């Protein structure tokens, strides 16, 4: 009889443990604390740059670099192009913007590789951190809302952008 009682107790324990542990995890916040997104969310800030007016209604990947464009700059521009293409049918909802931070023009041999990227000049005011180190995301309403680290993981950036496009009603 005692053996049967122990077996029933163990079965009951196994069946109730997930509920008890789940409730405790919720109440005591046992989560990792990490968000589901890879990019760093920034409190939305409206950007008043007139260069952004033609891009209203689109998600924008923005990069700040000098017109001379070193190897890191070229890598970012190529990366932005590939991330946009990886969006498949949603590719038309995403634009790329290269904000030139200095005087001069980009090298002519660089332009065919970044075809479709819009060029603009405006100050990096409102962009947190060292602007040339990041790729920024601007929402369809013209608000700065996310940035990616200096050497981002392409798969995770693509996943973040896909999630944004899936759940966003605008753009």
**Confidence at residue 33, expressed as pLDDT on a 0 to 100 scale:** 55
Q: Alpha-carbon distance 128 to 137, whole Å? A: 12
- What are the percentages of helix, strand and coil residues in the chain, rounded to 5? 45, 20, 35
pLDDT tens digits for range 133-157: 999 999 999 999 999 998 999 999 9
Q: Alpha-carbon distance 87 to 91, whole Å? A: 5
Q: What is the mean pLDDT of residues 127-134?
A: 86
**Confidence at residue 126, expressed as pLDDT on a 0 to 100 scale:** 67
Binned at pLDDT 50, 70 and 90, residue 10 comes out as: confident
25 pLDDT more than 60: yes
**Confidence at residue 169, expressed as pLDDT on a 0 to 100 scale:** 76
pLDDT tens digits for range 41-52: 999 888 877 878
Q: What is the mean pLDDT of residues 10-16?
A: 84
**Confidence at residue 113, expressed as pLDDT on a 0 to 100 scale:** 86
| Residues forming a β-bridge with 65 | 100
35 pLDDT more than 70: no
27 close to 96: Cβ distance less than 8 angstroms? no
**Confidence at residue 48, expressed as pLDDT on a 0 to 100 scale:** 79
pLDDT tens digits for range 69-128: 999 999 999 999 999 999 999 999 999 999 998 888 999 998 888 899 999 988 777 678
Q: Alpha-carbon distance 82 to 94, whole Å? A: 12
């Amino acid at each position: 009889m005692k053996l049967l009682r122990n077996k029933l107790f163990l079965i009951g324990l196994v069946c109730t443990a997930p509920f008890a542990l789940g409730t405790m995890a919720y109440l005591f916040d046992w989560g990792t604390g990490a968000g589901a997104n890879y990019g760093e969310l920034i409190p939305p800030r409206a950007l008043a740059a007139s260069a952004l007016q033609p891009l209203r209604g689109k998600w924008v990947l923005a990069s700040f670099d000098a017109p001379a464009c070193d190897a890191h700059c070229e890598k970012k521009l190529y990366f932005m192009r590939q991330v946009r293409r990886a969006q498949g049918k949603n590719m038309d909802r995403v634009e790329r913007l290269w904000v030139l931070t200095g005087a001069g023009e980009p090298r002519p041999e660089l332009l065919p590789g970044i075809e479709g990227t819009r060029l603009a000049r405006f100050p990096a005011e409102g962009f947190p951190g060292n602007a040339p180190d990041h790729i920024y995301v601007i929402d369809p309403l013209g608000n700065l809302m996310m940035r990616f680290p200096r050497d981002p993981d392409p798969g995770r950036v693509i996943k973040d952008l896909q999630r944004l496009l899936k759940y966003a009603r605008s753009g």
